[in-house]
Amino acid sequence: MKKREISGAAAGVVGSSENYADNVILGASRGHGFAAEKANHLNDVLSGKNAQIVGGNNAKNGADRLVDGVHIQTKYCASGSKCVSECFENSQFRYWNTDGTPMQIEVPSDKYDSAVQALENRIRKGQIKGISAKEIVKKGAFTYEQARNIARFGTIESLTYDAVNGIKLAGTAMGISGVISYAVAIWNADDCHVALEQACYTGLKVGGIAWVSSILTAQLGRTGVEQSLIGTTDWVVQKMGATTAAWLANGLRSGSNIYGAAALNNVSKLLRGNLVTGVITTVVLSSADFGRLFNGKVSGAQVFKNVTTTASAVAGGTGGWLAGAAGGATVGSVIPLIGTAAGSIIGGILGSLAAGSAASATASAVLDEFIEDDAKEMLRIVENVFTNLATDYLLNEDEAKAVLDRFREQELSDTLRNMYASQNRNEYAKDILIPLIEDKAKSRKIIQVPSSEEVMKKTGSIIDGLAA
């Protein structure tokens, strides 16, 4: 992974981990209710509405969602009558706005008619007065079964939800890596058009990886992976301490600050998300290496080295982003012109660049002591074959340099991988080098062989000179 890609990848991992922590509740026993809230919220956002999920404050009989100033309580139950009965306690309606009007009750689209009928029955019984059922009951954008499927692993509905939900996250990763790539290219004196092309390519690559990783991570959050990691991350957070946990939690989240058990739980969930997302991102980044391994184009040792180096870059970049974002938010909070949001982003970028590059370089340096790159092995074969061919073809220094320059102009990574996969690597190297050498030899000056008379005359003069 190139340095210009590290910050975007780290932003993608952190974003996916936050998404993981936020959506892991979908795997709970009544996760379809939360799935309904989140899916209807996403639908409203995509429709251009001013929508917020407000149920996280756990206020008694409070709203789940706020859409264009309207408070909504989401009830997704197996029947319309059950949706309505959940809104009553001791035959009294539970959900009221501060102005005394009832909140809207959002029900599955396929249960709307029966929910309206059930509420009309309660209105006739005097359990709620002064309003018609259709004024209160709101038809949700999804059916009951769709909400249940969104909360499940591997369904079309859950994959679609995660894919749409990951677009914003991918855009952030794409933007960060694209800007860094453009800046690096300009600083390297590249033309602005070349710099823009590199930026777009890098952005699309990193954004695509972040998008795919976010989908896979969110899907895993609906499985037993979450429960299996709780003990590990809780132990790490306890060792971290309440003060550090609160510093991290408040530096990485918006809203009011949290402390104590709330901060510890928040950071533990984020760590679980980072672990899962980091592994998924490394696998996605390394998929090409695994493909080459199966095709025999690289060795198992090379894949191990590449994957380990990539994992180090991802882990280092993510850790650097978390620490840098928390520190940047702290600094930004005392500098009015920056603020916590901008400070968090700046700190995250700087932290991920420093930590990710250092971790990758360290891992690579350590592994270099034990594992030689396949490319180095192949280049050594090329060097030996070229030395013999240069002797056979009587190449001078300039000719040899010109042939090697043309060899380097090829797509070397693909050439060397194909060479590794070949049955006879020496013959493969010859097949590449001989056409380059012969092409260069064709440009040599044509030699006119001296006549026999010229040879005899010159030989005679040499003999006369030696005799004298």
Task: Encode pLDDT of 77-98 as tens digits.
Answer: 999 999 999 999 988 999 999 9
Residue 268 amino acid letter: S
Q: How many CB atoms lie under 10 A from the CB of residue 61?
A: 12
Supply the pLDDT for residue 357.
62
Cα distance between residue 394 and residue 387, in whole Å: 10
Express each pLDDT in 255-302 by its tens digit: 677 888 888 888 888 888 888 888 888 888 877 777 877 777 777 777
Cα–Cα nearest to 263, from 252, 273, 277, 274: 252
d(CA 389, CA 170): 51
* Residue 129 per-residue DSSP state: -
Counts of helices then strands in the chain (DSSP H, E):
19, 7
pLDDT tens sequence across 233-257: 888 888 888 888 887 777 766 667 7
In angstroms, the CA 391 to CA 429 distance is: 16
Tell me which residues of the chain have a pLDDT lower than 50: none
Domain boundaries, the chain: 3-151, 374-441
On whether the pTM is more than 0.85, the answer is: no
